[in-house]
Structure 1
Amino acid sequence: MSEKQLNEQQILDGLFETAAAAPEESVFLKRLGLRMTLSGLTASKVDNIRDRCTKREGKKGAVTETLDSELFNATLISEATTKLEVVHNYGKEDEQRVSLQGWGDSRITSRMKLSGGEQAIRRMLLAGELNAIGDRVLDLSGFGVDIDDVKN
């Protein structure tokens, strides 16, 4: 065998290191010139976001729940964004970048008179962009895992 044999502790260390590191992906939104790095979220984080974005209404002893999908996607994107930058002349020799401190960066919120990052996302992204990026966050969070990836 050409590969180095690992001991039990090294194998377990590899498992825990992999489990602790969520997948990340850089996404470029050409229309806005925004590059964002998205990270997968834990199940408890996604559940918490879903719960915060669900409206509950009681009528005649029955409770109906309605998920605000726009707020849900905006919150997913806000929580999953680890790096955000505006890129001018993307991919060209004279490319310029401005790094932001996330969607709640005061240069965004104060200019647009918003209270936070979720509002900035909802204001800046088109409906399809919001859904596509929200779906990408869910994919990074393991919701797009194919059964073939899990079996055996």
Structure 2
Amino acid sequence: MEKNLLSNAEVDENTVEQNFEDEEVKEKINKDMSESDIITALLNSNADDKPTMIVPLKRLGIPVTLKALTGKQVSRVRERNTRTVEKRNKTEKVLDSEGFNMGLIIASTVKPNWSAPELLNKFRASSGEEVLKRILLGGEISLLGDVVLELSGYNISIDDIKNL
């Protein structure tokens, strides 16, 4: 399903690929930058410019535009979907993975607006998450959640970082 769903995925013009093996990226990053050069570069950077990706959902015949999330945004979604459970006199934190993926999708979606009044009325839903539950298959929810995490830099390997 994943291969079929993403095989025709388009990446829009604003997408920034996080491929650290790319020579162009290596040239832009000076390993010997001083502390003040790094701070100046950060001050001059546009932190609001986040990678985006258009994912076509063939089954529904619609494109979904997703943007990367910051670490803080991902942490908030994770916290909202983590509950404390007591097992054998031990307290454990358990992540609701379906809720986590839906939260990631809602926070990351540029378009469509899952909370549009027309969708809420059509699907008799009280929120965008309810709309997602009613129209997307479980695998589609999981896949879109994975795309959000990938866009947000969660699948960068240590080897990619070392190659800088």
TM-score (structure 1 length as normaliser): 0.74
Counterpart CA distance in 2 for 1:14 and 1:148 is 28
Counterpart CA distance in 1 for 2:87 and 2:109 is 38
Does 2:59 align with 1:31? yes
* Corresponding position of 2:157: 146
* Residue pair 1:70, 1:122 contacting (<8 A) in 2 also: no
Counterpart CA distance in 2 for 1:80 and 1:12 is 26
Choose which of 106, 115, 119 in structure 2 pairs with 1:78: 106
* Corresponding position of 2:146: 135
Q: Percent identical across equivalent pairs? A: 37
Counterpart CA distance in 2 for 1:34 and 1:50 is 27
- Alignment CA distance shift 1:13-1:57 (3 Å): closer
Question: 1:14-93 counterparts in 2 under 5 A?
Answer: 16-17=45-46, 19-58=47-86, 62-84=90-112
User: How far 1:58 sits from its partner (Å)?
Assistant: 3.5
Which is higher, the Rg of structure 1 or of structure 2? 1
Counterpart CA distance in 2 for 1:26 and 1:144 is 18
User: How far 1:111 sits from its partner (Å)?
Assistant: 1.4
Letter in 2 for 1:81: T
Counterpart CA distance in 2 for 1:126 and 1:15 is 42
TM-score (structure 2 length as normaliser): 0.69
Higher strand share: 1
Structure 2: state its 5+ residue gaps.
Answer: 1-36
Task: Give runs of ≥4 in structure 1 deviating > 3 Å.
Answer: 58-61
